[in-house]
């Protein structure tokens, strides 16, 4: 396909595709799927070889959030029967993190529900970061605490944080349909604060919330402009008890096309296969490793994931290798720029303009008998419980 040859050439040169090209990837047929995966896989291997970075989530504070994000099981008014607990002590969080590191995780992601941290919360998380770093040599720590106030990113950086995560989640045009208690601009501001403080910015999206192809391209192009070092691609986990519980819009094939589009738009960025991969990719997860160079190991914040042992077997069986702590994740040009605090450039940094095509149709929801509610399992182990974690 001329389209795929063009996209590969642009990806190898770190050039931004046109919006029309990105939309065309999402519009490819199932018959073309393996060609799409193979093409995007060439770009992935150019910048990341066959390495897979493992990340491990530690939910520091679960549930009881005052925000109304429709996709979230921890949201205000959620009836999802998730674990609810207040802040873990630093030593508890460090113990939870150690389980992930022992399973091969190179980065620990510390997450807390809420609108954003108070200064006291930042002190608490700073002590947790220090405890984790003291016990686990070489581990990266990423914080995800919500909207940041002035100076908080700098304090987290001083405490040893390597990165900060704050996802855009969806396009600016549809953001108000998903969340009303804060704005899309608030999220952009927090990513910029993290970047300015010298933290590695991590920001991604959630697919499967009923968005159009245009919305997906909008948010991925916005992410490229924001220039994060890592882009987590989440697939909606439709929790019972949340407003989006009936949104089963994804097939494994569509999930792969979304990942391929992200890789073409952000060729030299850590694309992370994140929440919902087991629910929506299912047995096609190994194909996704040809597109993403990073995954979460084990469980997520409020839902159970694939067994950590199965993750490692999947990586090995697919011909990939776990990235070690002695290896720099990002390509040299991005790693060098990040170390200088100038940002790596999500590709070349240029933005190509094109005449915008008509909006694509929202994909029809899967028939009720294809909604895999059996794959949505609430987390009952690990952080906040007395049971061993899945790592």
CATH at residue 271: 3.20.20.70
Alpha-carbon gap, residue 318 to 132, rounded angstroms: 31
The answer as to whether 228 is a domain residue is yes
Q: How confident is the model at residue 368 (pLDDT cuts 50, 70, 90)?
A: very low
Structure tokens at 310: 């199965």
Terminal Cα-to-Cα distance of the chain (whole angstroms): 41
Contact in structure between 144 and 182 (CB atoms under 8 Å): no
Check the annotation: does 65 bind a ligand.
yes
The answer as to whether 65 is a domain residue is yes
The residue segments making up the domain with residue 34 are 2-346+364-375
The answer as to whether 386 is a domain residue is no
The answer as to whether 381 is a domain residue is no
The answer as to whether 357 is a domain residue is no
The answer as to whether 104 is a domain residue is yes
> What DSSP element (H or E) covers 165?
strand 163-165
Burial class (CB in 10 A: 0-12, 13-18, 19+), 13: exposed
Active site residue ranges: 65, 69, 72, 109, 142, 202, 272
The contacts of residue 292 (CB under 8 Å, 6+ apart) are 44, 233, 259, 263, 271, 272, 273
Does residue 93 sit in helix, strand or coil?
A: helix
Q: How confident is the model at residue 385 (pLDDT cuts 50, 70, 90)?
A: confident
Check the annotation: does 144 bind a ligand.
no
Reduced to 3 DSSP states, what percent helix, strand and coil does the chain have, rounded to the nearest 5? 40, 15, 45
Contact in structure between 270 and 231 (CB atoms under 8 Å): yes
Whose structure tokens read 């855009």? 168
Which value, to the nearest 10 degrees, does the dihedral of the CA atoms of residues 335, 340, 344, 350 take? -150
Mean pLDDT of 58-76: 92
pLDDT tens figures, 178-226: 999 999 999 999 999 999 999 999 999 999 999 999 999 999 999 999 9
Contact in structure between 42 and 11 (CB atoms under 8 Å): yes
| C-alpha triplet 14, 18, 21: angle, nearest 5° | 105
The contacts of residue 256 (CB under 8 Å, 6+ apart) are 33, 36, 37, 281, 284, 287, 288, 291
Burial class (CB in 10 A: 0-12, 13-18, 19+), 331: middle
The answer as to whether 384 is a domain residue is no
pTM, two decimals, is: 0.88
Write down the pLDDT at residue 363: 43
Alpha-carbon gap, residue 346 to 156, rounded angstroms: 24
* Pairing of β 163-165 and β 270-273: unpaired
Give residue 146's region: left, alpha or beta (phi > 0; psi -120 to 50).
left
Mean pLDDT of 39-46: 98
Q: Does pLDDT of 50 surpass 60? A: yes
Q: Does pLDDT of 266 surpass 90? A: yes
Whose structure tokens read 């010298």? 198
Buried residues in 146-168 as b, exposed as e (16+ CB within 10 A): bbbeeebbbbbbebebbbbbbbb
The answer as to whether 390 is a domain residue is no
Does residue 41 sit in helix, strand or coil?
A: helix
Write down the pLDDT at residue 343: 46
> How many structural domains are present in the chain?
1
- For residue 353, what are the CA distances in angstroms to 12, 23, 350? 19, 14, 10
Structure tokens at 37: 């995966």
Check the annotation: does 346 bind a ligand.
no
């Amino acid at each position: 396909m001329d389209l795929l040859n063009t996209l590969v050439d642009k990806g190898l040169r770190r050039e931004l595709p046109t919006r029309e090209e990105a939309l065309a990837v999402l519009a490819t047929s199932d018959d073309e799927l393996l060609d799409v995966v193979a093409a995007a896989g060439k770009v992935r291997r150019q910048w990341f070889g066959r390495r897979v970075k493992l990340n491990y989530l530690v939910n520091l504070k679960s549930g009881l959030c005052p925000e109304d994000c429709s996709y979230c099981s921890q949201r205000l008014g959620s009836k999802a029967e998730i674990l609810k607990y207040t802040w873990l002590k630093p030593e508890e969080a460090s113990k939870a993190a150690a389980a992930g590191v022992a399973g091969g995780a190179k980065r620990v992601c510390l997450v807390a529900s809420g609108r954003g941290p108070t200064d006291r919360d930042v002190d608490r998380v700073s002590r947790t970061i220090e405890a984790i770093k003291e016990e686990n040599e070489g581990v990266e720590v990423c914080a995800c605490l919500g909207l940041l106030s002035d100076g908080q990113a700098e304090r987290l950086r001083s405490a040893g944080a390597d990165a900060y995560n704050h996802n855009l989640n969806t396009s600016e045009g549809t953001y108000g349909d998903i969340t009303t208690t804060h704005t899309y601009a608030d999220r952009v501001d927090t990513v910029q604060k993290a970047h300015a403080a010298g933290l590695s910015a991590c920001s991604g999206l959630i697919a499967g919330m009923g968005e159009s192809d245009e919305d997906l391209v909008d948010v991925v192009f916005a992410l490229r402009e924001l220039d994060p070092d890592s882009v987590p691609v989440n697939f909606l986990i439709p929790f019972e008890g949340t407003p989006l519980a009936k949104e089963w819009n994804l097939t494994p094939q569509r999930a792969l096309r979304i990942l391929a589009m992200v890789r073409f738009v952000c060729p030299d960025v850590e694309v992370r296969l994140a929440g919902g991969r087991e629910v929506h990719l299912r047995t096609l997860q190994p194909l996704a490793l040809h597109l993403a160079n990073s995954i979460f190991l084990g469980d997520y914040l409020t839902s159970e994931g694939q067994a950590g042992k199965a993750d490692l077997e999947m990586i090995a069986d697919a011909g990939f290798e776990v990235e070690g702590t002695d290896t720099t994740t990002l390509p040299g040009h991005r790693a060098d720029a990040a170390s200088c605090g100038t940002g790596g450039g999500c590709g070349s940094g240029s933005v190509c303009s094109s005449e915008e095509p008509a909006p694509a149709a929202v994909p029809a929801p899967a028939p009720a008998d294809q909604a895999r509610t059996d794959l949505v399992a609430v987390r009952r182990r690990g952080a906040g419980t007395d049971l061993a974690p899945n790592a």
